[in-house]
Amino acid sequence: MRGEKQTIILKIIVFFGVFILVSSLLQLKPISQLSSKMMLHVFHFDYSSLTIGTVELKFDESQEDVAVSLGDQIADFDQLGKDWLGELSTTEPEVFIIKQGQFPDPILRNANGLFFPNTNIIAINGSLPVEERVHAFAHEYAHFYLNSYIEQQNLKATDLPDWFHEGVAEAFAHRFAPLPFYEAITMWEVVPFSEMDMKDQSAGTTERYIMAQFTVEKLLANHGDQVIAKLITETKEKDSFSKSFTAVTSQKLSSYHKYLERNMEFIENMEADIASGGKDSKVKQELLNYDDEQGPYYYDAPSVYSVLQRMYEKEHKWGEAISLFLKQRKYVRASPFEWKEASEYAFYMEDYERSEKYAEKAVSLTDERSEAEFQEWLMEVEKKSKVNE
């Protein structure tokens, strides 16, 4: 018994010693990338292997289903990468799906995912919930694809700003696992892109990632899927990202961040108009115009969509109300009551299939105290759906 305790203590000491050593090595460049590759193979020498196309995934045998489900995403990742940047002529990445244990993995640590560009290795926390896991994998795969394209242009990753790298990766990941934006936002302090430090781990880090994504989304919406590649090739041509940005967008990068700022005057005026009983038609048109001007994503969007949803509800325009309800889900999750309400909208439209889908969502989110109410509504929808089959 005493011998077993000593062995356990020795293992813990060795683990922490290696952890400290690896952490130190990771701060040293250029050996950090190679040391990471070596340590991933050492620490996970017993991992199983699976090849999807030309991508090799390594994983703990207890997480084979996780590896298979992530591997199934690769073809779609590659297609989006081609749509944005074209074909790559590069070595495919090696993917480690890490099963986190009692102590954090010494390489991945507490990160959801990491990409090591010098070795084309992606490490993903395989113990994350499904949606976060897919988002993490897509995000790191986007880094792989983007860095590979930049290298093909004979540029360095550092020739493009960090916010651009992270914005592209977040926009890419959002197409496969759209995590609600507000879950990552606690403050919203907009700064010029030249001051947007993506490596600063103090307050505001996650907000900067969201701001970077919103910016890339606006660029994609305004200039098409090829805008990312154009910005990179123009950077090579002009030897300057800011000059490239102006050439591609006809706008100055130094002031482009201002669209991210909240228009508090407009929001306050709208709230005042609504409170004073102003004409719905006037308020609605101003909100629609404002939404159109802002681009696909902006901080105050959920407030705007919520007001518009209620207006369409009053007008019995159920399809428009549902559309705005779903747009809010990009920012914040809905309660069971809100999903039931969306189910009712679809019911009024006699779209019983969609009504049933939303009712099931409401039931899945409720607790025992109110489950009966949502189950009763679901049964009513199912009954109506069967009658109309």
How many Cβ atoms are within 10 Å of 175's Cβ, its own excluded?
Answer: 12
pLDDT at 50 over 60: yes
Range from 64-78, 140-154, 194-208, 305-319 carrying the lowest mean pLDDT = 194-208
pLDDT at 83 over 60: yes
Backbone angles phi, psi at 46, to 5 degrees: -95, 10
Q: What is the percentage of the chain residues whose pLDDT exceeds 70?
A: 89
pLDDT at position 1? 55
Contacts of 129 (CB under 8 A, 6+ apart): none
Average pLDDT score, the chain: 88
Residue at 168: amino acid letter: V
306-182-130 Cα angle (round to 5): 115
Over residues 157-171, the pLDDT tens digits come to: 999 999 999 999 999
pLDDT at position 29? 47
pLDDT at 246 over 70: yes
Over residues 195-217, the pLDDT tens digits come to: 998 887 665 578 999 999 999 99
pLDDT at position 213? 96
Tell which wins on pLDDT, 248 or 108.
248
Distance between CA atoms of residues 130 and 337, nearest Å: 24
Distance between CA atoms of residues 122 and 147, nearest Å: 13
Work out the average pLDDT over 285-301. Answer: 92
pLDDT at 359 over 50: yes
Are 330 and 182 a contacting pair, CB within 8 Å?
Answer: no
pLDDT at 313 over 50: yes
Contacts of 106 (CB under 8 A, 6+ apart): 15, 18, 19, 22, 23, 39, 43
Work out the average pLDDT over 273-279. Answer: 73
Are 339 and 362 a contacting pair, CB within 8 Å?
Answer: yes
pLDDT at position 351? 95
Full set of structural domains in the chain with CATH: 24-130 (3.30.2010.30), 153-261 (no CATH), 264-387 (1.25.40.10)
Closest CA to 105 of 19, 12, 9, 10: 19
Q: Kindly give the residue spans of alpha helices, DSSP state H, lying in 153-204.
A: 162-174
Distance between CA atoms of residues 75 and 213, nearest Å: 23
pLDDT at position 14? 54
Strands 94-98 and 55-59: parallel
pLDDT at position 43? 85
pLDDT at position 30? 46
Q: Is the dihedral of CA 228, 232, 235, 237 positive or negative?
A: negative
Work out the average pLDDT over 24-49. Answer: 69
